[in-house]
Amino acid sequence: MRRVAIHFPIIVYPSEHADIGPFTAHCLNLDIIADDDNVEGAVSKLLEAIEQHLDAAEEHGADPTRNAPFEYFEKLQRAKKLPDELLERIIREANQRHTPPLTNPITAEQLEIRELQEA
């Protein structure tokens, strides 16, 4: 099977639902979201959801792509890129979470994670 690198723009913003966690991480190319009490937790949960989504699509021969609504791409334009140190820590923790180790670990080139600051 041929593996293709996919670029995933991710935006992290204050949750629109206070009861599920103060931070929401949103993968815009797949329209998948995850919430947690901190940015790292939200992104980590999102990366796991992305992997499960892609695995299920492959298993069932389905097209996994579905873009988020346009308003979230507008949020992406206003958001600031996460510091490289935080991005590397998120990726390292996501890759270490897997047993057995991933044959194709997540790389920084695949992810664009941005955080939208509260106005």
Q: Is 20 in a helix, a strand, or coil?
A: helix
Write the pLDDT tens digit of every residue in 2-56: 455 667 788 988 887 766 678 899 998 899 999 998 888 888 899 889 888 988 8
Q: Is 79 in a helix, a strand, or coil?
A: coil
pTM for this one? 0.66
Beta strands 8-14; 111-115: pairing state: parallel
More confident residue, 96 or 25: 25
CB 111 within 8 A of CB 8: yes
CB 79 within 8 A of CB 118: no
CB 54 within 8 A of CB 66: no
The amino acid at 87? L
- Per-residue model confidence (pLDDT) at position 119: 54
Q: How far apart are CA 32 and CA 42, in angstroms?
A: 12
User: Where are the extended beta strands (E) located within 1-119?
Assistant: 8-14, 23-27, 32-36, 80-81, 111-115
The amino acid at 67? N
Q: How far apart are CA 66 and CA 30, in angstroms?
A: 5
Q: How far apart are CA 22 and CA 19, in angstroms?
A: 8
